[in-house]
Structure 1
Amino acid sequence: MRYPSATPGLAGNDLRQVRVFVGPDAMGNVTGVVTVGPDTRPEGLAAGARLLGYPETAFVRQDAGTVHVTSYSPYERLRVCTQTLLATEHVLRSRRELSPGTDLLAGTDVGEVPVRRYEDMAYVVLTGKRTPVRAARARLPLDGVVHGEAFVVDTGRARSYVRLSPDTLEAVRLDPAAVLSYCAAEGVRGICLVARSDNAVRLRVFTTSLAGTEDVATGGAAGGLPAFLAATGGGHSQSVLVRQGYGTALTRGELHVRPLGGAQVAVGGRVISLSTGRLDAGCLP
């Protein structure tokens, strides 16, 4: 399959489409993985991400045995992105460029990030230091909604977390402009609405990377849950199943959060392949 390209530096490059954070009742997020060379410029990557339109796109460069992953949404560059790292691990393993039993150590804008397999699932280890948590200062755009105290948790991208009842979480609607205004005032990249259920945590995430709209699945946001739950007395020492999103399976994701030894937290999810192709040079302007 060939896909349109309006970016000369990407024409003819390999493109894999996958879904990340798939579950029995969740289709997860469509993600693009594009192989690039050493001379591809950042503005070409940003333009390619806008054209492709995936929630997140991984641009993968391999050099002397190392793997570098540069991540973009259609709106901004992401310093680190769990979704694109899981997608990259899946693609490299499917191409047999990762040996069985070998972990991926991916270069990102925040340094090298490990992607490890536990049992039959890949996990991204988000941090090797204690996750910073502070009380939020700005007023959340939740007028008339009963909610707990908001906290800012930073797992590479800072987000505000607030606890709601399960029914309230399902009913909330946030205006994208209000989300962006709040995030600018608080100095964060998203708003995370959290509710506990019997066997999982419900999560909804509104993010600057999608212009203030809601994301289907957000690995970094899920990775901040153990620190947020600890700060609010909800415990954090056990593995957590996170059900994110709202509506049908097409707009939901299933994420697995695994506290590791020390202060490390790993976020994993199931990945399935959709299609393989190349960006089409014939569609250049």
Structure 2
Amino acid sequence: MTATTPTWDPGQYLRHSRHRARPFADLLARVQEIPGDPARIADLGCGPGNVTVQLADRWPTAHVTGYDNSAEMLARTGEHAGPTAGGGRLDFAHADLTDWAPAETYDLITSNAALQWVPGHLESLPGWLDALSPGGTLAFQMPHNIDAPLHALMRELAATTRWKGLIGDDALRPTDSVHDPLVYLDRLETLGCATDVWETTYLQLLTGPDAVLDWVKGTGLRPLLTALADDPDARDAFVAEYRDLLRDAYPEKPYGTVLPFRRLFAVARRKA
């Protein structure tokens, strides 16, 4: 979804599945009832499908489709696909969110921690809202912490003389990849939605050695690891330097390592 399209590692991503799934549960808690019965639901950027199942749990008769552009992630969704206990269905399909255009009407379109990888996602919102049933909902959440040390240190290290020639700018998520919350509120309200936008900072308690590095290896570091994949020595050297910076920024305590993580949420209900 960026110029350097990341190669994803589902196993690494799922190492912190509890922390990654919690914001989606918090997002869905603010979604009111949706119009369809059975409902039609899309999950944009579904990853390995472990959080998409929350949609089937909440709306057990719904037909839920998770969309993702990573073959590695989609390969892990098979364990979740098929009929659901409530009589609905859960399936998955390939799609690139940079140009995904709904081919049918949905009662709910969701996205969990994916739109930050989609340049120009604001311009996609009108088309996605048009694909909602009257009274349907668009709900998404994204990390809003590009200024946090784990990102700032990555950018600063990549810009040093040693690494600048090996790591292009397209291997780092742009600092404007997520907009101010007011931008989303204004856009969604202007498009005629009843809108709820908020932020939450989670104090994620991570355990294990170099826990913050282990976290970011599953997400924000993926484009850079992909860019250096053909030079394993350089990749490992960069990771070692970055690890040392993270150790200073996020010191390990006897009970674990605290990673403050701010997220942006938006729930927009199309007026009936």
TM-score (norm 2): 0.25
TM-score (norm 1): 0.24
Greater share of residues in strand: 1
